[in-house]
């Protein structure tokens, strides 16, 4: 039931294709606007020449803006995808027999958002949210920050890692259990490079480094999973 999204269908590739489409459309529109005779275009549209010039100057801006946004988002998603692949490769190599690691899981709720990684083993099901921040991190009520020398620094870009991990755990639980309330699915955030400071006010566990996930899974008492 749990399977990886094929590489060709992963979210960052879809986003990249959309970004390239809008960029090409914007550049094409700009080229056509530049090549047009403004006097002829103004007569055709019934505008004054100055309004036609403004009109054709503005036309390329929306698709170019969408294209740049899509390309930037695709780069961030690609980095997150590569991070999930690295984490999955490590866990697959270091976890003992009896564990299955599923990266890039697509829940059946119709959302385009993938679950970065699901680990299935004797203790239950673990949904992992890998992060690549550097330095030191801390959490206040699911709001995450990198720390600086004199206190709290910059807030994390994008959704809260702990809230996202909880949401993904609920999505996985809905997929694999006929009675979600009785299925043990745990969520965890793992920082592959950063040092963890105070994260006691995070709604899910936060771990430092992939070896900590291996230790947590192997040392967790086995509970009966009722689906």
Per-residue confidence band for 220, with pLDDT thresholds at 50, 70 and 90: low
pLDDT in tens, 113-164: 899 999 998 888 999 999 998 889 999 899 999 887 666 678 888 889 999 9
As a whole number, the mean pLDDT across the chain is 84
State the Cα–Cα distance between residues 130 and 164, nearest whole angstrom.
Answer: 11
Higher-confidence residue of 220 and 161: namely 161
Per-residue confidence band for 24, with pLDDT thresholds at 50, 70 and 90: very high
pLDDT given at position 127: 95
pLDDT given at position 150: 63
Res 88 pLDDT > 80? yes
- Verdict on whether the full-model pTM lies above 0.85: no
Task: State phi, psi for 23 to the nearest 5 degrees.
Answer: -65, -45
Residue in 24, 204, 172, 23 with CA at minimum distance from that of residue 103? 172
Q: Is the distance from CB of 138 to CB of 189 less than 8 angstroms?
A: no
pLDDT given at position 225: 38
Per-residue confidence band for 224, with pLDDT thresholds at 50, 70 and 90: very low
pLDDT given at position 222: 47
Higher-confidence residue of 4 and 160: namely 160
pLDDT given at position 1: 55
pLDDT in tens, 51-75: 777 777 778 889 999 999 999 988 9
Other beta carbons within 10 angstroms of residue 49's beta carbon come to: 12
The rounded percent of the chain whose pLDDT value lies above 90 is 42
pLDDT given at position 67: 92
State the Cα–Cα distance between residues 56 and 22, nearest whole angstrom.
Answer: 17
Higher-confidence residue of 36 and 118: namely 118
Residues in Cβ contact with 110 at an 8 Å cutoff, skipping those fewer than 6 apart: none
Per-residue confidence band for 21, with pLDDT thresholds at 50, 70 and 90: very high
Instruction: Give residue for tokens 């203790």.
Output: 123
pLDDT given at position 149: 64
What separation in angstroms does the CA of 139 have from each of 23, 26, 166, 183, 198? 38, 41, 15, 27, 6
């Amino acid at each position: 039931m749990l399977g990886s999204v094929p590489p060709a269908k992963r979210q960052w590739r879809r986003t990249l294709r959309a970004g390239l489409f809008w960029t090409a459309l914007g550049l094409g529109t700009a080229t056509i606007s530049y090549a047009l005779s403004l006097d002829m275009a103004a007569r055709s549209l019934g505008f004054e020449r100055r309004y036609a010039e403004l009109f054709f100057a503005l036309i390329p801006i929306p698709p170019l803006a969408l294209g740049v946004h899509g390309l930037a988002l695709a780069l961030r998603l690609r980095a997150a995808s590569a991070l999930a692949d690295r984490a999955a490769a490590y866990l697959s190599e270091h976890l003992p027999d009896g564990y299955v690691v599923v990266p890039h899981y697509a829940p059946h709720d119709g959302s385009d958002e993938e679950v970065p990684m699901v680990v299935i083993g004797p203790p239950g099901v673990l949904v992992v949210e890998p992060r690549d921040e550097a330095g030191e991190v801390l959490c206040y009520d699911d709001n995450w920050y990198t720390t600086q020398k004199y206190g709290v620094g910059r807030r994390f870009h994008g959704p809260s890692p702990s809230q996202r991990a909880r949401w993904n755990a609920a999505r996985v639980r809905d997929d694999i259990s006929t009675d979600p309330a009785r299925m043990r699915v745990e969520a965890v955030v793992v920082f592959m490079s950063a040092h963890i400071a105070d994260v006691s006010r995070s709604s899910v566990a936060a771990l430092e480094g992939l070896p900590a996930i291996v230790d947590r899974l192997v040392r967790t008492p086995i509970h009966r999973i009722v689906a």
